[in-house]
Structure 1
Amino acid sequence: MNDTSATPAGTQALMRGLAVIEAVAEGSTSLAAIGERIGCSRSTTHRLVGALVSTGYLRQGADGYRLGSHLIGLGARAREQSPLSALARPVLAQLAERCGDTVHLGIREGDDVLYLDKVAGSRGLEMRSRIGLRMPLALTGVGRALMLALPEAEWQRLFERALTERTASGDAAVTPAHAPPEWPAYRARLHDYARRGVVFDLEDNELGIRCVAAPVRDAGGDIVAALSVASASPWMPESRLAALAPEVSAAAEQLSRELGWRDS
């Protein structure tokens, strides 16, 4: 976003404004932090932020700048206008009601999984997942379900990149006892998951959280999304993970058929 030398002035301002919104969304809350993130001077950053505050895209509080209320409405409309989200919502809601656990829907964006929807279960459990959150594909149940059809070399690349990012971030939600396995064991698990058509997350991504995930396919048979059922480990012993696998697979298959997939 910083290479704007060849773009018209209006486009440059638009791109910088969008960069400001992304910077705030990712945790930059002061003018200095936003300016550093987008590569602009303080005066330019101040003008951009002021315009976004005045139009409701950002808000200013005692703790700095946050995303504004206008984006809430836009986000809701974006989800409503997504064919996948619209088709998936009844399937997710029914699965959450039957299981009593939290259900997620995610898609791949680059090397990350993007959570498109989340239906809370009835146990009152809070987890760090949220709609719009991006996380490394290789470390989440939904992400690994999205990886199942990829070649092994891509599995390894995504795995190594995810571990590098996690180490750099100092993720406090993971302890050595619950870290992902070494690459040979990870590869063996993915091959096993690919044969089964379901993925288990055994607290690899978030301490105390386990899930079962399955891929969703389109009319051409390509994996375009994945859904999961997640809960705290006391409610997800290995026996329940195994028992939930057919139900999660059936929900993923139901959504796949909505998208035009047919089992050959």
Structure 2
Amino acid sequence: MNTTDTTTLQSDTKDAQKGNGTQTLLRGLALLECVAQGISDVKGIAAHLGTPRSTTHRMLNSLVAEGYLHHVPYGGYSLGFRLIYLGTKAQEQRPLGALARPFLEELAAMTGDTVHLGTQEGNRVFYLDKISGTKGLEMRSRIGNRMPLASTGVGKALMLGLPPEAWQALYDEAVAEKVAAGEPVLLSPWPQFHEDMLSYRAQGWVMDLEENEIGIRCVGAPVRDVSGEVVAAVSVASAVPYTSRERMLDLGPMVRDVAQKISETLGLGKKQS
């Protein structure tokens, strides 16, 4: 074997090792996502990932040893202290949450409803913060959850920062996800959805009429940075009996004003030197 062949073989071997390392990393991350979603036993995790139980068990043991997972005998797996630490650090490194928190608390106190703060990650909403309401209601949103933009109040508020020609692809994606999950599609037909979004854009706030979760209504508004770009959104959500159309019309300007205050904290409206 000549020098060129040897060099090529070594390069191919390194590429293969990199590929295997990346695959292992992605499997480990997917496993953590499974546990975060409540799949806590080896059998369920292996089925979800499509990996052999022996392989799954080895990955679980490694993650437990490093503190990323916690194991209770006969009780399954849960997220470990290392993830709690990393989650705290992640929040510290995303100053938007810290800057917005006092305004979210003020809005929660004024309304008694659940308040969300979300950002856009790809084609989905990432819930950055959540303050539960005082009415004893619980909803599917969680800090760290990701949901379709077009079917959530926070998501539709984020969409106000996108060009209208980008809306339909996000709408189609939200509808497809509902269908795939076997859930009823409560989004308006596309022409009506588009017309509503144009109206929302003009008034500066949006409504979610049970489109994400049956029985839950939501009002949202976008947060803008110093350049005027939409970087986040705030929403107030509650059950239908507490959120009549008339109350939503009252909440809309209130949520918009809070989003404006957060925007001003981020520098919106300040003169640039």
Mapping for residues 180-195 of structure 1, pairs under 5 Å: 180-195=187-202
- Quick check: 13-22 or 220-229, which moved more? 13-22
TM-score by length of 1: 0.87
Aligned pair 1:239/2:250, yes or no? no
Q: CA deviation at 1:42?
A: 3.8
Aligned to 2:29: 18
Q: CA deviation at 1:149?
A: 2.5
The verdict on how the C-alpha distance between 1:9 and 1:186 changes in structure 2, with shifts beyond 3 A counting, is closer
Query: Match for 2:42 among 23, 31, 37?
Result: 31
Letter in 2 for 1:120: S
Aligned to 1:133: 145
Q: CA deviation at 1:37?
A: 4.9
Provide the identity percentage: 51
The verdict on how the C-alpha distance between 1:13 and 1:181 changes in structure 2, with shifts beyond 3 A counting, is closer
**How far, CA to CA, are the matches of 1:36 and 1:124 in structure 2?**
35
Aligned to 1:48: 59
1:68-91 C-alpha deviation (Å, 9 max, x unpaired): 343233323322331111101111
**How far, CA to CA, are the matches of 1:254 and 1:6 in structure 2?**
51
Aligned to 1:77: 89
**How far, CA to CA, are the matches of 2:209 and 2:48 in structure 1?**
35
Structure 1: state its 5+ residue gaps: none
- Please state whether the residue corresponding to 2:188 is helix, strand or coil: coil
The verdict on how the C-alpha distance between 1:98 and 1:72 changes in structure 2, with shifts beyond 3 A counting, is same
**How far, CA to CA, are the matches of 1:11 and 1:149 in structure 2?**
34
The verdict on how the C-alpha distance between 1:121 and 1:36 changes in structure 2, with shifts beyond 3 A counting, is closer
Letter in 1 for 2:126: L
CA contact 2:221–2:235 (8 Å) conserved in 1 = yes
1:213-236 C-alpha deviation (Å, 9 max, x unpaired): 000001111101000111111111
Q: CA deviation at 1:10?
A: 5.8
Aligned pair 1:159/2:171, yes or no? yes
**How far, CA to CA, are the matches of 1:160 and 1:33 in structure 2?**
31
1:216-260 C-alpha deviation (Å, 9 max, x unpaired): 001111101000111111111111111111111110011111111
- Please state whether the residue corresponding to 2:150 is helix, strand or coil: helix
TM-score by length of 2: 0.85
Aligned residues: 256
**How far, CA to CA, are the matches of 1:129 and 1:39 in structure 2?**
27
Aligned to 1:261: 268
Q: CA deviation at 1:35?
A: 4.1
**How far, CA to CA, are the matches of 2:97 and 2:214 in structure 1?**
28
- Please state whether the residue corresponding to 1:129 is helix, strand or coil: coil
- Please state whether the residue corresponding to 1:213 is helix, strand or coil: strand
Aligned to 1:57: 68
Letter in 2 for 1:100: G
Letter in 1 for 2:70: R
**How far, CA to CA, are the matches of 2:199 and 2:22 in structure 1?**
48
Q: CA deviation at 1:262?
A: 1.1
Letter in 1 for 2:264: R
Letter in 1 for 2:84: I
Aligned to 1:226: 233
Aligned to 2:8: none
- Please state whether the residue corresponding to 1:127 is helix, strand or coil: coil
Query: Match for 2:80 among 64, 68, 80?
Result: 68
**How far, CA to CA, are the matches of 1:193 and 1:243 in structure 2?**
14
**How far, CA to CA, are the matches of 2:23 and 2:167 in structure 1?**
37
Q: CA deviation at 1:261?
A: 1.1
Aligned to 2:12: none
Query: Match for 1:102 among 104, 114, 127?
Result: 114
Letter in 2 for 1:168: A
